[in-house]
Amino acid sequence: MSARVFEGLVGQTAVISALESAITAARENSTGQEMTHAWLFTGPPGSGRSNAAKAFAAALICKNSGCGECDDCRTAFLGTHPDVEILDVNGISIKIDEIREVVSRSAWGASLSKWRVVVIEDCDRMTEAAANALLKALEEPSSQTIWLLCAPTLQDVLPTIRSRCRHLNLKTPTASEISNYLQKSLGANIEEAELAARISQGHIGKARGFLKDPSFNAKRKKSFDFLFSVKSEGSAITAAAKLIEFANENAELRTSERNEKESEELKSALQSGARGLVSGGAKALKDLEKDQKARFTRIVKDEIDGVLLDYSTFLRDCLAGQGPFINSDLSSEIERISSQNKTGQISALLIKLSEIRESLTTNASQLLLVESFFLRFAPLNNGH
Ligand SMILES: [Zn+2]
């Protein structure tokens, strides 16, 4: 029976069992190899690598080894517990100053529990200088500090850092693992659980959102409305512009609150009585603005890619031609397009779409990329 705090780690039996042995060892002050001071969690997007790290942090400081209900567990997850620090990416990278601050705070030791836990999400985004600063801390571990690093793959992390960490890899959960979880833990019925599991493509947060968050469904519906509206060159260009605008609006929703809070906090920290900003204050504000812009750009890309990923599952359904479809709620559109077009045309577009998603990570124009996809989709949607 595993700790409650690990319940959301769907399909990660091996990872959970390693973490549970570590917790038992830590609790019993065992000198065995199960517990160590630095861990690296890798896994594809949506597999839950940072949730695994946060759950481990909670289980280490919770008096009941991760009950998932007490204040320690709750605040550990949020990063507001005095002994748990969660470092996420502010801008596009984690800078040396941020790592230095975390390292110097880690020297304080734990205050309420036995450990001081530092979670670094996206540690693949550390600058080289930041990575070297972290490496020094890992080489001279303090007895109380536990480092939990997260990255998409092992190759994203410097070998010198990698070699200091115990590595745990999370796999993409299968559709049936996700479906079981949604039924057991979220009380979904079998039909909606299976649809959510297929649509999410192994992304557990997406599957949960599909069931629980009405805005998630509204967003998905709107994305497919754009796609189905594409029947000519003109409508392809209009739909592309709308999709980009939509991605920007969604990114705005996701960032505005946090941006405002950050700016206000920084401004009040920089205020020195009636004389206005302290020296260097203007620069600090400018730097923050730059970081926020970089974050916004990253999230817009993320939004566009999310839509394109939905389109690619749709094209895969069209290619298959018969169910069970990933997007079973769109079966009439899938069957129409599938019956009106040759499989060669659909598979060529699917390949093109994956190239387009790849180009989205570069500085290529997002609008032109989306247009180029819609222009190729128009004849398929027309049946010509
Ligand atoms: Zn607890």
**Per residue in 319-343, pLDDT tens?**
999 988 999 899 999 999 999 999 9
Tell me the CA–centroid distance for residue 318 and ligand 1, in Å.
Answer: 47
Confidence band for 214, pLDDT divided at 50, 70 and 90: confident
The answer, yes or no, to whether residue 272 has pLDDT greater than 70, is no
Q: Of all residues in the chain, what percent carry a pLDDT higher than 70?
A: 97
Tell me the CA–centroid distance for residue 72 and ligand 1, in Å.
Answer: 6
Query: What mean pLDDT, rounded, does the chain reach?
Result: 91
More confident residue, 72 or 273: 72
HEC readout, the chain: CCCHHHCCCCCCHHHHHHHHHHHHHHHCCCCCCCCCCEEEEECCCCCCHHHHHHHHHHHHHCCCCCCCCCHHHHHHHHCCCCCEEEECCCCCCECHHHHHHHHHHHCCCCCCCCCEEEEECCHHHECHHHHHHHHHHHHCCCCCEEEEEEECCHHHCCHHHHCCCEEEECCCCCHHHHHHHHHHHHCCCHHHHHHHHHHHCCCHHHHHHHHHCHHHHHHHHHHHHHHHCCCCHHHHHHHHHHHHHHHHHHHHHHHHHHHHHHHHHHHHHHECHHHCECCCHHHHHHHHHHHHHHHHHHHHHHHHHHHHHHHHHHHHHHHHCCCCCCCHHHHHHHHHHHHHCCHHHHHHHHHHHHHHHHHCCCCCCHHHHHHHHHHHHHHHHHCC
Mean pLDDT of 305-316: 95
The answer, yes or no, to whether residue 287 has pLDDT greater than 80, is yes
Tell me the CA–centroid distance for residue 59 and ligand 1, in Å.
Answer: 7
Tell me the CA–centroid distance for residue 80 and ligand 1, in Å.
Answer: 14
The answer, yes or no, to whether residue 221 has pLDDT greater than 80, is yes
Tell me the CA–centroid distance for residue 4 and ligand 1, in Å.
Answer: 9
Report pLDDT for 265.
Answer: 82
Confidence band for 190, pLDDT divided at 50, 70 and 90: very high
Residue-wise pLDDT tens digits, 149-176: 999 999 999 999 999 999 999 999 999 9
Tell me the CA–centroid distance for residue 65 and ligand 1, in Å.
Answer: 6
Report pLDDT for 54.
Answer: 96
The answer, yes or no, to whether residue 91 has pLDDT greater than 80, is no
Report pLDDT for 323.
Answer: 83
The answer, yes or no, to whether residue 278 has pLDDT greater than 90, is no
Report pLDDT for 88.
Answer: 84
Tell me the CA–centroid distance for residue 15 and ligand 1, in Å.
Answer: 19
Question: Comparing 41-55, 221-235, 365-379, which segment has the lowest mean pLDDT?
Answer: 41-55
Tell me the CA–centroid distance for residue 144 and ligand 1, in Å.
Answer: 19
Tell me the CA–centroid distance for residue 164 and ligand 1, in Å.
Answer: 29
Tell me the CA–centroid distance for residue 214 and ligand 1, in Å.
Answer: 30
Tell me the CA–centroid distance for residue 62 and ligand 1, in Å.
Answer: 4
Tell me the CA–centroid distance for residue 342 and ligand 1, in Å.
Answer: 56
Report pLDDT for 274.
Answer: 59
Report pLDDT for 294.
Answer: 84
The answer, yes or no, to whether residue 1 has pLDDT greater than 60, is no
The answer, yes or no, to whether residue 74 has pLDDT greater than 60, is yes
Tell me the CA–centroid distance for residue 5 and ligand 1, in Å.
Answer: 8
